[in-house]
Structure 1
């Protein structure tokens, strides 16, 4: 029973912090706001997480798992590797048009931390490398694995371009370029 309660408290803190980090940014979100909005007392938060950075790491791990699953699910609807790649861009098109989309969770955080924040940057790089690996795995059977980093760069560029312009055209253009590369 105590373990279930601890997990519930932990989940509540992560969910609250995730919403706040995503919507208003990591540096703009204070511990006191997380405490107030999650409904936990300060001592409980600090017995669950030693620091705000530890909460951030849990957020990145949680969002990474969600992102990995959604990307994989988007590609599994197809057999053809080209269609799988294009499905990733279609998935991206769908999420960037959502009203509550504030950009890529990982690019948002990496833009807020310094180069010296190696633990955080390493976690972000780990997640981004999973996306690179997904493209590599998709393209390997058709001997186009050498294109995987180019496709990955288009994917990341589309995310960044969408964040800057708050428009779908970077995603549309990235998909068009990917399609040309795969022909």
Structure 2
């Protein structure tokens, strides 16, 4: 029972921190704000996590799983590899139009952390390599897995372009280029 309570408290902390990290940034979110908004006492936070970075790691792991499943789910709606790839871009088009969309969780964090923070960078690379792997798996059956990294760069560029311009056109252009590459 005690372990379940600890896990529940930890999940409350991660859920609260996830919302705050995503909306206002990792650097702009303090431990005291996480404690206050989660409703847990500071000692409970430190029983579950040794540091703010440990909370960040849980956020990145949880978010990585959710994002990977969403991208795979978008692709899995189709049988044709080209349509699968385009469906991933269509998913982005829908995602960026959501009211509470503040950019790619991972690109937001990577832009905030020092280059020396290898632990966080490794976790973000793991998620991004999962996206690369998804494109490679989609394109493997038609012998075009060599295009996976090109499609991945379009995907990442579309996310950055959307963040900079706060418009859909970078994603639609990347989608169109991906379609041409796969013809």
After TM superposition, the structure 1 = structure 2 runs for residues 14-93 of structure 1, keeping only pairs within 5 Å, are 14-93=14-93
1:3, distance to aligned residue in structure 2 (A):
2.0
Unaligned runs of 5+ in 2: none
1:59-118 superposed Cα distances (whole Å, 9 cap, x missing partner) = 000000000100111011111000000000000000001010000000000000011000
Report the RMSD for the aligned CA atoms in angstroms. Answer: 0.5
After TM superposition, the structure 1 = structure 2 runs for residues 160-179 of structure 1, keeping only pairs within 5 Å, are 160-179=160-179
Tell me, in whole angstroms, the C-alpha distance in 1 between the residues paired with 2:56 and 2:126: 15
TM-score normalized by structure 2?
A: 0.99
Moved over 3 A (4+): none
TM-score normalized by structure 1?
A: 0.99
Secondary structure of 2:79's partner?
A: coil
Tell me, in whole angstroms, the C-alpha distance in 2 between the residues paired with 1:129 and 1:24: 26
Tell me, in whole angstroms, the C-alpha distance in 1 between the residues paired with 2:13 and 2:43: 13
Tell me, in whole angstroms, the C-alpha distance in 2 between the residues paired with 1:170 and 1:87: 16
1:4, distance to aligned residue in structure 2 (A):
1.9
Q: Which residue of 1 aligns with 2:111?
A: 111
Q: Which residue of 2 aligns with 1:130?
A: 130
Q: Which residue of 2 aligns with 1:5?
A: 5
1:124-151 superposed Cα distances (whole Å, 9 cap, x missing partner) = 0000000000000000110111100000
1:24, distance to aligned residue in structure 2 (A):
0.2
How many correspondences in the alignment? 183
